[in-house]
Amino acid sequence: MGEGKHLVGVDIGASSVKVVQLKEGRGKRLEVIRQGYSELPPQTIIDNHVMNASNVTEALLRIYTDAKITQKEVAVGVYGQSVIVRKITVPMMSNDELEEQIGWEAEQHIPFDIKVMSIDYEVLRRRPEAGQMDLLLVAAKRDEINDYAAILKDAKLKPVVVDINAFTIQNVFENQYGLPPDSTVALLNVGAAVSSLNIVSQGVSSFTREITNAGNQITDEIQKQCNVPSEQAEAYKRGGGSTEVVPQEVHAIIQTACDGLAGEIQRSLDFYLATSGEQEINRIVVSGGSAYLAPLCKSIEKRARVPVQLFDPFQNLTVDAKFVNEASLRARAAQFVVALGLALRCEKERRVA
């Protein structure tokens, strides 16, 4: 929730940087007025840690120049092992009491020294009849946040909001479709390094998990089994382009790798159902660059026996054709879901409690 001008959404992924800028038009309908995409050189980000900050800074400067973006205030997303998300239950208390208690509560649930973490929370549900309230507790290592902030400042940008990637996708989904109060939706984002799963039940996030099996592992399998360089394997994974013929065995490798990833996702879904008391998941919505791999959604649907759809985050948004190449944007739509979710954030945020 927020008010004021929308921030520019900056998604620094393992293989690319994506940027989206929105403007509220007539009838409060949102319009994409700027967007940018830049691939990062290999090894720029390893295991979610920025190894070469200058590569990211240069990518941001290039995007800002090419897209003619002038707004400096941005929202950036974080993900990976340095981010902890827990749904916890605490006794009913006032907002002021909760502010005083949250540090102690966090110490009970976070497996890191609380002094090196940034903590935030949101009240999901108050249950006065039970004398309890459910919270979503989020913590991220300050060093990681500071690293991202330093990169943004080097690119002459002003970081205003730091969000969790999994929740930015939920924000986009809610903006597009609303959060149905009587069903359970699994939001799956399959990026290059990480697959993030956020299960939203009765309108609130009930379960989050990050799976290290993602697009890069599919590329690694192609590289290993076909004995080709990483860049060649990545090109094969993407279909080879208009001039290159993809070897027949690559399709089988991709199918097997997608089956393996679908199996890991299914285990997470099974764990959620076994521990939450939920009877079923009504649908799975897939985004991220690897979502375009045709076998992936089919493999997930076959295992989960649940309808699976590719998430188009721009479906209900207009595009300023003067500054945005609409065809290019929509061709990469599933890759921009985190950047779009970040662009939904505003300069002035207010807590819902």
We report the CATH number of the domain holding residue 173 as 3.30.420.40
Give whichever of 33-37, 137-141, 199-203 has the largest mean pLDDT: 33-37
Instruction: Give pLDDT, residue 349.
Output: 63
CA atoms of 138 and 119, how far apart (whole Å): 6
Q: Partners of 35 in the beta sheet?
A: 20
pLDDT of 2 > 70? The answer is no
Percent of the chain with pLDDT over 70: 96
Local confidence band at 351 (pLDDT 50, 70, 90 cut-offs):
very low
What does the pLDDT look like over 44-71, one tens digit per residue? 998 888 999 999 999 999 999 999 999 9
Query: Quick one: DSSP state of residue 44?
Result: S
Nearest to 87 by CA among 62, 121, 54: 121
CA 294, chain centre distance (Å) = 20
For tokens 């954030």, the residue is 345
Query: Quick one: DSSP state of residue 278?
Result: -
| E runs forming strands in the chain | 2-6, 8-12, 16-24, 30-39, 45-46, 49-50, 73-78, 83-91, 117-127, 132-141, 158-164, 184-190, 195-201, 204-211, 283-287, 308-310, 318-319, 346-349
pLDDT of 308 > 70? The answer is yes
Residues 6+ apart with CB under 8 A from 284: 185, 186, 188, 300, 301, 304, 306, 307, 308, 309
Are 254 and 237 in contact, with CB atoms under 8 Å apart? yes
> The domain containing residue 164 runs over which residues?
2-349
Pairing relation of β-strands 346-349 and 283-287? unpaired
For tokens 């290290």, the residue is 212
Read off the pLDDT of each residue in 159-169 and give the average, rounded to a whole number.
Answer: 94
pTM listed for this prediction: 0.91
Rounded to 5°, the CA angle 57-58-61 comes to 85
Percent of the chain with pLDDT over 90: 75
Our count of domains for the chain comes to: 1
Instruction: Give pLDDT, residue 10.
Output: 98
Q: In angstroms, what is the C-alpha Rg of the chain?
A: 20
pLDDT higher at 286 or 2: 286
Read off the pLDDT of each residue in 190-214 and give the average, rounded to a whole number.
Answer: 92
pLDDT of 233 > 60? The answer is yes
pLDDT of 348 > 90? The answer is no
Local confidence band at 3 (pLDDT 50, 70, 90 cut-offs):
low
pLDDT of 142 > 60? The answer is yes
Average pLDDT, the chain: 91
CA 55, 61, 66, 72 torsion-angle sign: positive
